[in-house]
Structure 1
Amino acid sequence: MVDYYKVLGLQKSASQDDVKKSYHKLALKWHPDKNPSNREEAEKKFKAVGEAYKVLPDPQK
């Protein structure tokens, strides 16, 4: 199982606002268009950050 808090660089006690801020920061950092020299790694990290952002706000996931 993936630790989504770790993907976003957060503690488990992080607020929803912290999750949102971290997501936006990392999504900009790892967007594939901003990393043309390392596109494959950027795509993997960008997808992981997006998945973490979808899962953490949903208490059922």
Structure 2
Amino acid sequence: MTDHYTALGLDSAARLADVKRAFRQKASFWHPDKNADPQAPARFRAVQQAYEVLSDTEKRQAYDDNRRRNLLDSPLATATDIWQNYFDPLTQGTEP
């Protein structure tokens, strides 16, 4: 999953004005006519896609909801929970 906030250099609390400003800056920098870097066309497309999603209220809400579902708030706590819920019962009562 592409992180649209990273493509624009923003955090998820960015306002619409911040999204627009970041888009103009990044699009100007990565525009293939102005930037000879071989990665410029791909980065420019990523910036355009990010703006398309983050500037539309409904698309942004759907993206944020999906992003929250996919990101772990606390990887260590999640791993501990998985271990305790699934593996501990298997190992309890069995001796090597």
Q: How high is the TM-score relative to the length of structure 1?
A: 0.87
Runs of 4+ in 1 over 6 A off after TM superposition: none
1:44 aligned counterpart, secondary structure? helix
The CA distance in 2 between the partners of 1:19 and 1:58, in whole Å, is 11
Give the deviation of 1:35 after TM superposition. 1.5
Number of residue equivalences: 59
What residue identity is the alignment partner of 2:14? A
Distance between the aligned counterparts of 2:45 and 2:6, measured in 1? 14
CA distance in 1, matches of 2:50, 2:28: 15
Identity %: 46
Instruction: Give the letter aligned to residue 45 of structure 1.
Output: R
Deviation at 1:24, TM superposition (A): 0.2
2:5 is the alignment partner of 1:5: yes
Which one scores higher on RCO, CA 8 angstroms, separation ≥ 6? 1
> Runs of 5+ in structure 2 lacking a partner?
60-96
Is the contact made by 2:20 and 2:51 (CA closer than 8 Å) also made in structure 1?
yes
Q: Could you tell me which runs of 5 or more consecutive residues in structure 1 were left unpaired when the two chains were aligned.
A: none
TM-score by length of 2: 0.57
